Amino acid sequence: GENVEQHPSTLSVQEGDSAVIKCTYSDSASNYFPWYKQELGKRPQLIIDIRSNVGEKKDQRIAVTLNKTAKHFSLHITETQPEDSAVYFCAAPLGYSTLTFGKGTMLLVSP
Amino acid sequence: NAGVTQTPKFQVLKTGQSMTLQCAQDMNHEYMSWYRQDPGMGLRLIHYSVGAGITDQGEVPNGYNVSRSTTEDFPLRLLSAAPSQTSVYFCASSRRDRDGYTFGSGTRLTVV
């Protein structure tokens, strides 16, 4: 089955800096890669996703890039703000029916 | 449109007790999954379903049962609660495979 590894486990940045979180996956047939943000005490919420027919997708300050050859995908957050502080999870398909998640990255943005 | 609704939000059980965590969605989603979240462990898949009458085991299924008699409901049963099952449980659903999941608000379970 699919295995997703996520790095780093924690990331501290200053407000206005960029943050990058990287995930690797094992199944070369995987073709859908979502990212979730989970604020303290809340549910995970989908913030952006990418399918394997594109290499990059942007939505305002966040972007995701995909390298199918190397089997990794990354979340990029530019001009970070304190409200970006949260735990971020990457995921990949497990078979055809569900998702498997990375262990998460705690992002801390200091004012 | 309530999305994915989980009940209860909090529960304390004694070791050996059984209970059912409820999950319902009103989006006509075919795919539903249960995850547990523990510190440093991310979201681990317990059981999942691709439609009414069809369920399968995930990464950590021991001690849990599921059934899917309707498209809307996907309850998770703890057969005999153990302290190792202390966790936050999330139910999630999606419209189809290769689609983003919508999560419920979670159930925080403590087994003493």
Residues 12-71, chain A: which have Cβ within 8 Å of B? Answer: 31-32, 34, 42-46, 49, 51
- Using a CB-CB distance cutoff of 8 angstroms, which residues of chain A are in contact with residue B50? 97
Which of B97, B100, B106 is nearest residue A96 as measured by Cβ atoms? B97
A78 min Cα distance to partner chain B (Å): 23
Separation between Cα atoms, residue A71 and residue A91, nearest integer Å: 13
Contact A64/A74 with Cβ under 8 angstroms?
yes
A42 min Cα distance to partner chain B (Å): 7
Residues 51-110, chain B: which have Cβ within 8 Å of A? Answer: 56, 58-59, 90, 97-106
Q: Supply the pLDDT for residue A96.
A: 74
Q: How far is CA B62 from CA B66, B74, B78, in A?
A: 11, 17, 10
Separation between Cα atoms, residue A35 and residue B8, nearest integer Å: 27
How many C-beta atoms lie closer than 10 Å to residue B5's C-beta?
Answer: 15
Q: Supply the pLDDT for residue B98.
A: 62
Contact B24/B5 with Cβ under 8 angstroms?
yes
One digit per residue, the tens of pLDDT, for chain A of length 111 reads: 778 999 999 999 999 999 999 999 998 888 899 999 999 999 999 999 999 888 999 999 999 999 999 999 999 999 999 999 999 999 998 877 789 999 999 999 999
Q: Supply the pLDDT for residue A29.
A: 86
Q: Does the distance separating the beta carbons of A49 and B45 come in below 8 Å? A: no
Q: How far is CA A85 from CA A22, A103, B49, B82, B102, in A?
A: 17, 16, 33, 33, 21
Burial string for B29-61 (b: 16+ CB within 10 Å, else e) reads bbbbbbbbbeeeebbbbbbbbbeeeebeebebb
- Tell me, yes or no, if A101 comes closer than 8 A to chain B by beta carbon: yes
- Using a CB-CB distance cutoff of 8 angstroms, which residues of chain A are in contact with residue B35? 101
Number of helices followed by number of strands (H, E) in chain A: 0, 11
What are the structure tokens assigned to A71, written together?
């089997």
What end-to-end distance do the CA atoms of chain B give, in Å?
A: 36
